[in-house]
């Protein structure tokens, strides 16, 4: 936990340095414009994600194909990248761009066995075989009773 403070301090220093370097090369106005555009994109990403991020994660789990941990965490990466885009500075924007890259990664499962996807196997343990017949000899033709139940013409 004590290293988190150092990490925040280092990231803040890198953000300030990135703003100074970018403003030196393209000017202060364009730097401010790029930062406002970055905040706009981050907010729109957060607004459009909503509950759909959860649905994407569940669909990825239920797809039954080989998935990687990187693909499984896509909604969380997307939200984290949006938060990084909202923060001022270009170092966080670079990290957000890396998080948004469509990298597949190694498959989470080996062969075709996916722990998140269960498919029924044909074990004959739960099958009960049998025969049945319909005996119509005990039924009497009841045309009289049937015609009594019909509405009058």
**pLDDT tens column, 46-80:** 888 766 766 766 776 776 666 666 666 777 788 88
Tell me what pLDDT residue 4 has: 87
Instruction: Pull the structure tokens for residue 133.
Output: 């017949």
**pLDDT tens per residue across span 109-145:** 554 454 554 555 556 566 777 777 877 776 655 555 5
Tell me what pLDDT residue 64 has: 63
Tell me what pLDDT residue 107 has: 58
Tell me what pLDDT residue 25 has: 93
- As a whole number, mean pLDDT of residues 93-112 equals 73
Report d(CA 37, CA 39) in Å as an integer. 5
Tell me what pLDDT residue 20 has: 93
Tell me what pLDDT residue 67 has: 66
Statement: residue 11 has pLDDT above 70: yes
Whole-number Cα distances in Å, 115 to 12, 13, 108:
41, 43, 9
């Amino acid at each position: 936990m004590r290293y988190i403070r150092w990490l925040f301090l280092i990231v803040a220093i890198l953000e300030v340095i990135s703003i100074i370097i970018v403003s030196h090369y393209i000017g202060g106005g364009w730097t401010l414009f790029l930062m406002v555009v970055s905040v706009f994109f981050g907010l729109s990403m957060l607004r459009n994600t909503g509950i759909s991020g959860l649905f994407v994660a569940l669909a990825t789990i239920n797809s039954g194909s080989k998935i990687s941990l990187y693909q499984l965490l896509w909604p969380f990466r997307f939200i984290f990248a949006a938060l990084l885009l909202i923060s001022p500075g270009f170092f966080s924007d670079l990290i957000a761009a890396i998080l948004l890259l469509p990298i597949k990664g190694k498959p989470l499962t080996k062969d075709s066995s996916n722990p998140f996807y269960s498919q029924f196997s044909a074990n004959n343990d739960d099958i009960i075989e049998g025969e049945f017949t319909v005996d119509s000899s005990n039924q009497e033709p009841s045309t009289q009773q049937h015609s009594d139940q019909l509405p009058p013409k």
